[in-house]
Amino acid sequence: MSTTERREVVVIGGGAMGSATAWQLARRGRDVLLLERFEPGHVQGASHGASRNFNQAYSHPDYVSLLVEALPLWRDLEAATGSTLLDTTGIANHGANPAFDAVHAALAAAGIPAEFLPVEEAERRWPGIRFDSRVLFTEQSGRLHADRSVAALQSDAAANGAEVRHGARVTALTVVGDDEVRVDVEGRDGAYQVTARRVVVTAGAWTGKLLAGVATHPTLVVTQEQPAHFRVRDESIVWPGFNHAPAAGNPDYDYWYSGVYGMFTPGEGVKAGWHGVGPVVDPDARSFAPEPVQLAALQRYAAEWLPGVDPDAFAPISCTYTTTPDSNFVLDRTGPVVIGAGFSGQGFKFTPVVGRILADAVDGLPTPAIFSLGAPRLAAS
């Protein structure tokens, strides 16, 4: 390998979003190099594991439009690679969420199936879950296989001409001009440089470190999230994905850290977790050990709300969230640098659409205003 290379586009970060961006660019015939610091199948970031909810319970028009685009793109990727990535198990949303009526109306307007079910009907269909309110069920929602999705994106990107390079840690970015960025890389065989007309930064928890002194962006908070897989008591039970919102002011929910999400992961059990409340971490100095008080509260949740699992038989999981002040993504370009960041624990379902948006930004097209670098970022209430 030469010590200096010239490429049209370099994508930094080979998790879901970077892989999707390289996939979209390669399909457009762009010369693209994807750099990933870790080896395939690593567990350091936010894109590993076997399950993510493909949750369609959104009311904001920008997110609903992403949902409409995402489903056929996932099916397109499956067809191109012969992979099974999305299982439409449906998702049951319940609890004290005041947005349910708005979500139902927005999905109906977009042609996405959604229906309300009474508690009795929901518990008849899914006896592994205890419900405390009417249920908003979205039948086209489901479970995405995270590891398999990243591998499929990289495979089809390479099939369309992209170069995917693992073991390539970017140590510095330098903007040389309007159409030139220098990328310093520590690779398997030593250090080298790549210059590119455009660079896409999709580095997850490392985004802030990489862009320091390069680009101004909204605050990105990195947390170590700690869901767990609970053993299923009865293998014959059917499981949808689920989202459960607590009732404010009700002491029965006082031990909750946030709403709860979950899904059945074949071969591993029922995954359940708090959302975005893990300890703040440096991604280069993570313990990967669960915080015991949060874990105990999650076990209590499983005991009270998931009668289909054994709350004392579980395997903790560790991943990262990189969250913006309002939980909206950052998808924008500043000079020759395109940024995809801040997916705030809700991005995976939108992966192929995010890749399309970031590829558009490389090509000089605007990104949705809600995701721009200049968007007002009010802290979520």
Q: What pLDDT is stored for residue 381 in this prediction? A: 30
Q: What pLDDT is stored for residue 378 in this prediction? A: 67
Same domain as 367, residue 235: no
**127 domain-assigned:** yes
Strand order in the sheet with 142-144: 52-54, 142-144, 86-87
Same domain as 101, residue 86: yes
261-309 confidence digits (pLDDT tens):
999 999 999 999 999 999 999 999 999 999 999 999 999 999 999 999 9
User: Of all helices (H) and strands (E), which one includes residue 17?
Assistant: helix 16-27
Q: What pLDDT is stored for residue 377 in this prediction? A: 80
**57 domain-assigned:** no
Same domain as 193, residue 152: yes
Distance CA 379, CA 381 (A): 6
Same domain as 151, residue 27: yes
CATH of the domain at 248: 3.30.9.10
Buried b (16+ CB within 10 A) or exposed e, 140-166: bbbbbbbbebbbbbbbbbeebebbbbb
The candidate with the shortest Cα–Cα distance to 159, out of 80, 230, 95, is: 80
Among 323, 343, 371, where does a domain finish? Answer: 323
Q: What pLDDT is stored for residue 4 in this prediction? A: 84
Same domain as 226, residue 100: yes
Same domain as 261, residue 200: no
Same domain as 8, residue 103: no
Same domain as 336, residue 265: no
Same domain as 200, residue 94: no
Distance CA 287, CA 277 (A): 16
CATH of the domain at 2: 3.50.50.60
Q: Return the amino acid letter for 269.
A: G
118-136 confidence digits (pLDDT tens):
999 999 999 999 999 999 9
Structure tokens of 71?
């489903």
Range of the domain at 119: 62-143+221-323
Reported as half-sphere exposure (CB side, CA atoms, 13 A), residue 306 has a value of 36
232-251 confidence digits (pLDDT tens):
999 999 999 999 999 999 99
Q: Return the amino acid letter for 18.
A: G
Helix 146-159, helix 351-362: angle, nearest 10: 40
Q: What pLDDT is stored for residue 256 in this prediction? A: 98
Same domain as 362, residue 213: yes
Same domain as 379, residue 368: yes
Q: In the chain, how many domains are there?
A: 2
Among 277, 299, 323, where does a domain finish? Answer: 323
Instruction: Give Dmax over CA atoms of the chain in angstroms.
Output: 66
**56 domain-assigned:** no
Residue entry with tokens 């990328």: 183
Same domain as 226, residue 121: yes
Percent of the chain exceeding pLDDT 90 equals 97
Which residues, at least 6 apart from 106, have a Cβ–Cβ distance to it below 8 Å? 58, 59, 60, 61, 64
Q: What pLDDT is stored for residue 380 in this prediction? A: 42
- The parts of the chain modelled with pLDDT lower than 70 are 1-3, 378-381
Q: What pLDDT is stored for residue 1 in this prediction? A: 44
